[in-house]
Structure 1
């Protein structure tokens, strides 16, 4: 089952069950749920979602006004979990190369805070490249949807926008390279855990279009990750709590070469098996 957050006919946020061609709005109040994150915190999310009655409103996927599937959860991210990411980070900065080399092989992963909800955008929205950066890339990432108890209840697509020149100048600038308005894409919806394919069958594909032409096209697989989901969660949860739940972007295995940078009006499309496609345009300034 897939769950989307969207606007209903009255322009109010609501939650819907996604089929192949449409989104059926469901009545959260019938289960005493106040929002999507409350439903995701249920002991059995699938059973709870299946039991909720439909409101009668239904939209085609094309016409649905989708919102990012987040309420008040925090968004975190893991870095250097793929070999390609390690290589790219070492290319950014000779001074920081040893740091990225060591973290790839270290028992402790790189985990950092990515975004608050107001910095997140959904399917069809614009993501931002920083005005003070000249080297920017999207980072397509399989994203874990976590309950307050850090149980994996679903998966979505994440775009961890990154300013490579800022981070490469000094690794201490990572927060500025990663965290700013419109720095993170999530969506288009959440696929509950039971409906996801096995990890070995999950492909992650990135296509970037500029002036109607594809200027970047590459894919990888979730099995290329050097760490397990459980390992990342065990570190995220150390001395940490998440009352509203969280999203964890699990790292990227696709990084464009050093001669590529995003430009305003580019279109970024990230497709992941079992979920769908997250599409965002790019703005700057």
Structure 2
């Protein structure tokens, strides 16, 4: 008589995927509301089910084994299918449109992940994504042309939208340069005004008594990355999505001033609550909470 196939436990798979995405199973325990010992038992159960070690020691942390990497892809698809099935059966199918605005920083990182997952869960909803600078996004929300927008907030005020993540600001230079040139005034690559990052960079340098000049100005993030990689100047951004041609500059080593953090907030249009918009907003909060936790 043939042995019955093993059924993978969806809760255990979710723990496995959450721990890998957050970069820590201790963080996964907090996120999922379980104790660290319960998480360890779940991981052992999963390894027993597949008959392979899924994790290995890597210095003071953990890394995936080859079977673990293979299982991770299947686990993501199984969880997405599980969530889509429950969403389709447990609630009426969503329909309509969501108009989203977001900064260029996330157009090639979080945005594809969010759009793909939302499309699988809610294929009847059309999502329109508008990638613009902060001032444009705020104006579009106020004019009622966007339902949701991710915007930067340097003030830390609690009155605008909902807090999505707090990200540090860092100086960014070319990967290949051993150290900053002693050029004075300091060459900068920045967006044109109005721009919170430009204000933060020039304000910090002025406060530190470091002369500066704008050596390169671009309306797009790709242009800034290219200019910095070419050595035309340094810039200031969050550490999110830095290309491999660039690196964070340590203020202690470079003589640059330290910088405060920046809040990312989700603001909404004036339209009333719409189930499609609410579901997309919840998915955005979940996605960016995971991304912020990985960078912590």
TM-score bracket, shorter-length normalisation? under 0.3
Structure that is richer in strand per residue: 1
Q: Report which structure shows greater RCO (CA 8 Å, sep ≥6).
A: 1
Q: Which has the larger radius of gyration?
A: 2
- What is the TM-score normalised by the length of structure 2? 0.26
